[in-house]
Structure 1
């Protein structure tokens, strides 16, 4: 079974590891779309802390990840699912229901986020300490 997920994966933390390892448990092949710098700026109004090249390299170095690609548009998620022949789309439950539209292409599964950690939280803690 081929699993696909998407994310920014900026300021990499244990929550990222947890969702990727849980996604990999669902199948034999895990494909990860890492959001481009431009996509992050359009979504969040700011660039990521780490460049897309660095974020892709970090994700690609994980034992549970088989393939990494650059996600350049939210509107192309369906095309990415088809291109990589994904059987399951995994997302964090903060996106619950937002990707159900892809259930005709593959199974959609939402995993609970790791409590007590988020990239925004880490960035804010670092700012407070500076």
Structure 2
């Protein structure tokens, strides 16, 4: 994409607020950042991206995929899929315009501004950080949070619980498959 198409390339860039963007019917590109671990990439992740892309007529979606090290540090466990695999899945999603690994685990205004992103997309649930009850509160307070809705009945946690609940059946299946291949 030609950077001349971006409104920030024509003058000094300044983020636009959510109410400002809703108040206009401009066709200008709205840059939106979302982040996450995105382990076991599933329909809930895709739905989040679809919601973001549908929010305005011309959205450029930037995804930050949290690193394995940060996920271990802040969530206490490693993802099932490694960061390279997770980044590859995100990169292949048609709704994503740009993806990269290892953003700050807890986004900051400075980081989002460095991406020249107008908004941050996330659900409205508080997300605890070591320094705040909700690391997205700063974006809510300055009218730069685009609230997305979680997809009912699907999450990485629910997928892992399904596997754990039926672990013996999966073990037997793998033993059968391994014996057939050998």
TM-score, normalized by the shorter chain, greater than 0.5: yes
Structure 1 residue 7, shift from structure 2 partner: 0.6
Query: Is the 8 Å Cα contact of residues 89 and 106 (structure 1) preserved in structure 2?
Result: no
Structure label with greater radius of gyration: 2
Query: Is the 8 Å Cα contact of residues 52 and 59 (structure 2) preserved in structure 1?
Result: no
Structure 1 residue 122, shift from structure 2 partner: 0.5
| Change in 2 beyond 3 A, CA 1:115/1:126 | same
Match of residue 66 from structure 1: 97
Give the superposed CA RMSD: 2.0
Distance 1:102 1:62 in 2: 26
Query: Is the 8 Å Cα contact of residues 9 and 34 (structure 1) preserved in structure 2?
Result: yes
Distance 2:155 2:106 in 1: 24
162, 166, 169: which one aligns with 1:125 = 162
Higher strand share: 1
Residues 1:46 and 2:77 aligned together: yes
Correspondence 1:49-128 to 2 at 5 A: 49-95=80-126, 98=134, 99-102=136-139, 107-128=144-165
Match of residue 4 from structure 1: 33
Gaps of at least 5 residues in structure 2 are 1-29, 128-132, 168-182
Structure 1 residue 79, shift from structure 2 partner: 3.1
53, 59, 62: which one aligns with 1:24 = 53
**TM-score, scaled relative to structure 2:** 0.65
Structure 1 residue 24, shift from structure 2 partner: 1.6
**Cα offsets for 1:61-93 (capped at 9, x unmatched):** 011100002234334533330111011110023
Secondary structure, aligned partner of 1:74: coil
Gaps of at least 5 residues in structure 1 are none
**TM-score, scaled relative to structure 1:** 0.89
Distance 2:159 2:71 in 1: 17
Query: Is the 8 Å Cα contact of residues 18 and 114 (structure 1) preserved in structure 2?
Result: yes
